[in-house]
Structure 1
Amino acid sequence: MRTGPDSQASPAIGRPRQFDRDMALLAAMRIFWAQGYEATSIQDLVLAMGVNKPSLYSAFGCKEEIFREAVELYDRLEGRATTQSLTMSATARGAVETMLLANARAYTSDEGPRGCMIVLSSLLGAPANEGVRAFLAKNRLDGEKALKIRLEQGVAEGDLSPAADVDQLAAFYTTVLEGLSIQARDGASIDKLNMIIEAAMFIWPADD
């Protein structure tokens, strides 16, 4: 028998290929974002994530579980534009306008698919995927609630009229935000999105 360092078998031989779970999830997020939930197959995920099916199921579970994790990752990465706008702006109006402008830039960036993953991923589809649609609907509603809280803060701090209907405003500007996402996916330019935002800000309640 040969001895010495050259005679030792590589420790990698026979072991399953290792992968970076975080990078694999990022790849899953991007393909769901680009194609939507239903149009993305397990095979699409296998190819994008660089992992075989047994390892994929072992590490992440089923397709819906992968998607839910991908949405949570999207919230952490892409949701910063909204979070920072709502927390750092001095006034409620400034927070809303900054939020819309920041997201318009993100929606038209060349660094990822256009539009918002949460708005576009599963608006319609098979009844079997109702759980996914409900999950996304709750996510969007949570965003509307966060905006309402910021508007209520504006009322408390005196930069938004006490007569303002914060429920109405939160619903309206959430709808504008979601509309910007659809426009961006359809190919609208940043200039067009900014024009829409400018028009939307005209309805801001006047000071008493």
Structure 2
Amino acid sequence: MKITCFTVGAFQVNTYLIEDETTGDAAIIDTGETDELVQKLLSINPRPRIQKILLTHGHLDHAGGLVALQSQFDVPTYLPRKELPLFETLPVQGDWFGQPSFNRPCGRIDHFVDDGDDIHLGDTKLRFISTPGHTPGQGCYYDEQDIFVGDTLFFGSVGRTDLPMGNPAIMQQSLQRLMQLPGHLRMHSGHGPVTTLAYEKQYNPFLTFLRHA
């Protein structure tokens, strides 16, 4: 799988273009909150064969650019099922940050994903694992080598749980479950650099509860 990261928007969110190297079929993971990602994708020559849009969760920096993306790439969009109530607050999420100009329309959801679901992209198979806590339905997509974790976990940090619908106790359970996946998985977060699950389990100061379990 070929992975290209585009860091976009006021929140400097990492969005990802992933491409199956056998077929060339591609997907987008998360959107940013503006049309910046769209402009970057349109500048690629040859244009990627985008087949799917995958959302890790419904915060505006990860899903607010969905309408702009769908206007150029009319392909199925996938959202974690338990994330729908948060996703539907996109028109007011900017108000949470005192930035009403960031309020965004919701866009179209075509498919819901549940824990354990597989999503096929050419010869690539991604599995969805539900990791709520940062949001009610936050989840991750992974194959044998890479995992896209949204705002569940970062290099040296974890997703915040103090925004509406966050839950720190559930987040701790999700982090414990995430760390049961193979440690070699390269971890692509919603913000910050690439790391691995094994590195975070050993060195992330927010995961000490796992090291002392």
What is the TM-score with the length of structure 1 in the denominator?
0.29
Which is greater in Rg?
1
Q: Name the structure where strand makes up a greater proportion of residues.
A: 2
Q: Relative contact order (C-alpha < 8 Å, sep 6+): which is higher?
A: 1
Q: Name the structure where helix makes up a greater proportion of residues.
A: 1
